Amino acid sequence: MNEKFISTAKKIKNKISSLRFDLYHKYSAIDSLKDVVAIKGKTDPKLIKLSNEYAIDVLGWKGYAPWLIVYSAFAETFKEGWIPDNYYGKIVIPKIQGDYGKLSFLKSITYKIFDTDVFPDIGYFANGLFYKNNFEIIQSIEIVDFLFKKSNKIVFKLDHSMQGLGVYFFEKDSFDIHKISSLGNGVFQEFIEQHAIFNEFMPSSVATIRITTVIDNQGEPSVRACFLRLGQKNDTHVNSVSDLGIPIDLKTGEFDAFGYDNYWGPMIKHPDTQVLFANKIIPQFDKCLSTALELQKSMPLVRCIGWDMIVDKNEKIKVMEWNGYDTDIKFSEATQGPCFKDLGWENLWKK
């Protein structure tokens, strides 16, 4: 009797969770479409029809159409192979990630998993103790000197932090161990001084190069998308509220001539510094790509990962974090997609 009750309760819980997910994406897509229409005008009915048909005939449910309509309205055409953001979250992630992707939420195990210095991790705070990146415990009297050994400024990121939330900056003179304890588990990272090209756009916050990689059914990694995220004048760091996205050419590392705000609004230059996006190239771009591919190959359990990295002032690659569960593909799909057309993801709902 208890087993039957528990089983029924789980089904109800999953049903409610699924419904909430569907409603969230439905209204998020509606809001995004309103933003796009305000810029580009009314969406061609033919594109809406194609989106609805593709959602039903190829992806198995009309509920995937809203994001396809957003992509179509933005691109002013329909492209077969697009993956709607909610299809990715509902169908693709459970099939190609499972729970392994959630490991990226736990900042303290990053160095143990990848064993590479491309991550600027200095140490961690977890469950009441401070650790070095090799998990050696740091004694109380050594904590401050150890964390600030190379710089008077460091960054602390909480576990489960995302979209720029849960990020804190600390300086040696004002560092408070008790403050960390009250915040919770997380990672201490070097404060990165970014390459001059990124400072041109916004010197007050470190830019983020997002590279999305996948592992196919033959176990081969590949790069599927890349865009640059820039902060604005009042930002201490890039966040999902005010960041700007600029598509990056995967072959050359060149910036697209247009960047976009969070309302899909196009711009040709940074609104604060007035620096143009056109004719700029990501420094050490080949190294950025090869770093992402090497890391993806070392983590085949998670088959689609978004790597947030930057090139520092010495032209070294710094991977600030990896996103293994919800890599948010909609910006890349709309601006550069279809990014995943040859992977057979459109058939995963049938399995």
What value does the mean pLDDT of the chain take? 93
271-286 burial: b if 16+ Cβ within 10 Å, else e: ebeeebbeebebbbbe
pLDDT (0 to 100) of residue 171: 93
What percent of the chain is modeled with pLDDT above 70? 95
**How does DSSP assign 108-168, residue by residue?**
GGHHHHH--TTS-EEEEEETTEEEETT-PBPPGGGHHHHHTSS-SEEEEEETT--TTTTEE
Determine the average pLDDT of the residues in 122-144: 93
CATH topology for 194-340 is D-amino Acid Aminotransferase; Chain A, domain 1 (3.30.470)
Secondary structure element (H or E) that encloses residue 72, with its range? helix 65-75
pLDDT tens-place string over residues 88-109: 999 999 999 989 999 999 999 9
Residues 6+ apart with CB under 8 A from 18: 90
CA distance 213 to 305: 5
| Burial class (CB within 10 angstroms; exposed 0-12, middle 13-18, buried 19+) of 296 | buried
The residue with tokens 């809406």 is: 48
Q: In Å, how far from its chain's centre is CA 261?
A: 16
| Burial class (CB within 10 angstroms; exposed 0-12, middle 13-18, buried 19+) of 262 | middle
CA distance 201 to 246: 12
Q: Which two tokens stand for residue 255?
A: 């910036």
pLDDT band of 284, cuts 50, 70, 90 = very high
Decide: helix, strand or coil at residue 35: helix
pLDDT tens-place string over residues 28-78: 999 999 999 999 999 999 999 999 999 999 999 999 999 999 999 999 999
Decide: helix, strand or coil at residue 306: strand
pLDDT band of 12, cuts 50, 70, 90 = low
pLDDT (0 to 100) of residue 75: 98
Q: Are strands 121-126 and 186-190 parallel, antiparallel or unpaired?
A: antiparallel
Query: Which has the closest alpha carbon to 55: 39, 38, 67?
Result: 67
pLDDT (0 to 100) of residue 276: 98
CA distance 201 to 116: 29
Decide: helix, strand or coil at residue 31: helix
pLDDT (0 to 100) of residue 215: 97
pLDDT band of 239, cuts 50, 70, 90 = confident
The pLDDT of residue 163 is above 80: no
Secondary structure element (H or E) that encloses residue 304, with its range? strand 304-311
